[in-house]
Every structure is written in structure tokens, then in C-alpha cells.
Amino acid sequence: MSQRTGILLVVSGPSGSGKTTLCRRLAGENEAHYSISCTTRSPRPGEIDGKDYHFLSREQFLSKRQNGEFLESAEVHGNLYGTLRSEVVQYLAVGRDVVMDLDVQGAELVRKSEDTSIRATLVDLFVMPANEEELLKRLSGRGTDSAEVIELRMKNAIEETRHWSEYTYRLISGTQEEDYTRFKSLIVAERLRVSRITSRKLQ
Amino acid sequence: MSQRTGILLVVSGPSGSGKTTLCRRLAGENEAHYSISCTTRSPRPGEIDGKDYHFLSREQFLSKRQNGEFLESAEVHGNLYGTLRSEVVQYLAVGRDVVMDLDVQGAELVRKSEDTSIRATLVDLFVMPANEEELLKRLSGRGTDSAEVIELRMKNAIEETRHWSEYTYRLISGTQEEDYTRFKSLIVAERLRVSRITSRKLQ
């Protein structure tokens, strides 16, 4: 048995901040379990059910929500999104860390969870580019989207970024390697936190 | 100007825990200023004034204490020990991190400092071996001390170790490299803490 409770690391940030890459790399190095969200929106080309999202019908989603299976859920642009408790609670209980990327609305719901064991283990981080110029560069970087789409994304990203001060930690993104070093430091450091230690013995 | 306040990282742990090595390496890599303590005890062979300690006469020490120059001070086994405010405050103010190793008594005094700016920036860590067997191994490792001296050190170390749960973070020491990686993660992560950010702008 682990001598500490698992960490619930919630990562938010505007589109293009690289938050998903950070979360997936941490999970890929087996440092944490990556919690996969549910959504009722249609898969985009290349997205895989059970890897990128659990794709559910609206009926399936609502039924699970009715059963209290979601830790948090919200409607965004007409689609439902949510995190299943089963993606989180069972891991934390055995001292396994869980990482997830959530929008500011989802993070706020987790922060206000009525489940005190969730709140006690939560660490939240906001990832953001250094300035609006950098944000625009990242949002338009894919080169496949129209000016209108980029403009809408930019508007949303600026709005999302306004919420950074609601988080405990903030990472201003630099290079991918710098970002990952800092990101990983966060979970390594949080593992040293005395309040997470469940065994009171010397060892 | 830095956009955050400096971190005051206070490290405690029993003799042989490697805390001083960790602090000095962090300072050696220019990640923080190492705060050198004052003491009225005599230098041991090899100890250098201004590097290991500021060695003061009892009169000098008491005069500085009278002038309020110490952040914390205490008498241990008939010798006075203390940290000068000048070793700490001016660095923190410009966003430079400060690291110091203090015994549990000194750490407790810093934690209770009447100076709220000190308390706000404080991060405290207790470094300890995994168990008493390992502790004994480390204490007797130098091979130059008598059984009585080792026994006394062991008694003091066990007493010191009882205080670990008063700290925010605890590091159970493994190899020197593992310890340093975790130790450095702590300061890297603490630098991301939103409550330290003094600029409210996007950047």
C-alpha cells in the first residue's frame, strides 16, 4: 500500500497552450493516470474513442449523469463534457496520481466538488503563453484554419486566460522541454507534501 | 524587476541527512542564495569564516541581537546560533530565492516570525533517512568518532526527526542524485505558485 494519497492534477489553459501534450507525456512516462473525458460531440478526424475521449450519445451521457457517475460535467457550445468518477477516485485511493486537462469551467466544478477527498488532493495548474502575440502564433500555427476560425479561437483563448489567477500554480510556456521539466517538478514536489502522507511512522 | 517575490526555503533534518549538501548544491547552481548562519562556537578544523558560518564572539552576537539584526536566534549546548536578516530580506525583495539549513528550533522561529512577508514566502522541508538503521549508518559513516559520540548524535537525530510532521514537505533520502532532483523540483514548482506573482498582467 502507498503511504500517501494520490494527487489529482488538473491542468487548464487556452487552446494551443500545450496542456494536453504535457498531461499525456506525464502519463506516458507512467507518472500518473490520464483521465479521459466523456463528450457527446462527434469525433474529429483521427480521434479515437477511449483514447482521446469516451464518445457517448446524449442519452448515454444523461443516463450516467443521472446515476451520479460524473465528478464534473458541463455543456459547451451545445455538447456535453464530463469526467467519470471511475476515471479518478479508484486511482487516488491507492496512491496513484491522476492528471487531466479541463477547461476553466470544469476545473471550477472540481474545485467546488462536494467530495472533500477530491478537494483535499487537488492541485490545479494554468498553462498559458507569455503574451497575446505568442497566443495568436500558436493558435494559427496549424495553418489549416480560416481567419474566422482563428479569430473565434483567439477570442475564446483570451477569455479563458483571464482565469489564470484562480489557480494555485501557473506555467508560462516556453519550449516544450522547459515546460515539461517544470510540469513534472510540480508533481514530484507535491508528492513530498506532508499533508498527503497517510502513514505516521518514521518510514 | 522580477514578477514574483523570492522563496525562503528552510531545510531541516537530522545530522547525516544530507540537508547541507542539498542546500549548497542548489546555491552552487545559482538557483538560490545560501544564507550563512552566525555562531559563537569555535570553528572546527577546515571550517571557513564567511563560508561555513559567520563566526562571532559572544559580545558581537549579543550586540547584533540587541540591534534586532537577527531573523531567528537560539542557544544550543551553550553556543548561540542565528540568521541575520541581511542574509535573507534583501534577496527576497528582489525576487531572489534564499535557501538555508536550520535546526527544528530555528525553523520554528522563522515559521512564527512576526514579519508577515517572511511567513508568506516560507517553504519548509524536512529531510530524513528512511529508518533508524539508515540513520545510524549515516551517522557512523565518517568513521572518526567514538561510540559515545555516535550514540549521542543518534539520540539527538531521533529526537530531531520526531518533528518532521511540522513541516510542509518531507523528503525521505535515497541516493544523492534522487534527493537533489526532488529537492530542486520543490523550488522549481514553488516558483509557479500564483500567490507569489506580483505582476497581474498577462505576461
- From A165, A185, A197, residue closest to B194, measured CB to CB: A165
Top-level CATH class of A1-35+95-191?
alpha beta
Let me know if the fold of A1-35+95-191 is the same as that of A36-87.
Answer: no
Q: Categorize the per-residue pLDDT at B69 as very low, low, confident or very high, splitting at 50, 70 and 90.
A: very high
CATH number (3.40.50.720, 3.50.50.60, 3.30.63.10, 3.40.50.300) of B36-87 reads 3.30.63.10
How many Å lie between the alpha carbon of A54 and the closest alpha carbon of chain B? 32
Determine the Cα–Cα distance for residues B19 and A164; give it in Å rounded to an integer.
Answer: 35
Is A63 in contact with A24 (CB distance < 8 Å)? no
pLDDT of residue A200: 57
Measured CA to CA in angstroms, residue A12 lies from A56, A114, A190 at distances of 23, 21, 18
Architecture of domain B1-34+96-192: 3-Layer(aba) Sandwich (3.40)
Interface with chain B: mutation pick from A194, A196, A200, A201, highest number of B CBs within 10 Å: A194
How many Å lie between the alpha carbon of B174 and the closest alpha carbon of chain A? 12
CB contacts, 8 Å: A202 with chain B: 128, 131-132, 161
Is B72 in contact with B109 (CB distance < 8 Å)? yes
Delimit the domains of chain B by residue range.
1-34+96-192, 36-87
User: Is 50 exceeded by the pLDDT of residue B1?
Assistant: no
Determine the distance from the C-alpha atom of residue A155 to the mean position of all C-alpha atoms in its chain, rounded to a whole number.
21
Determine the Cα–Cα distance for residues B29 and B21; give it in Å rounded to an integer.
Answer: 12
CB contacts, 8 Å: B107 with chain A: none
Regions of chain A where pLDDT drops below 70? 1-2, 141-143, 199-203
Which has the closest alpha carbon to B18: B150, B159, B133, B125? B125
| Stretch (H or E) spanning B137 | helix B132-139
Binary contact (A188, B182; C-beta < 8 A): yes
Task: Kindly report, residue by residue over B2-59, the tens digit of the pLDDT.
Answer: 688 899 999 999 988 899 999 999 999 999 999 999 999 999 999 999 999 999 999 9
- From B170, B182, B192, residue closest to A182, measured CB to CB: B192
pLDDT of residue B203: 44
User: Is 70 exceeded by the pLDDT of residue B89?
Assistant: yes
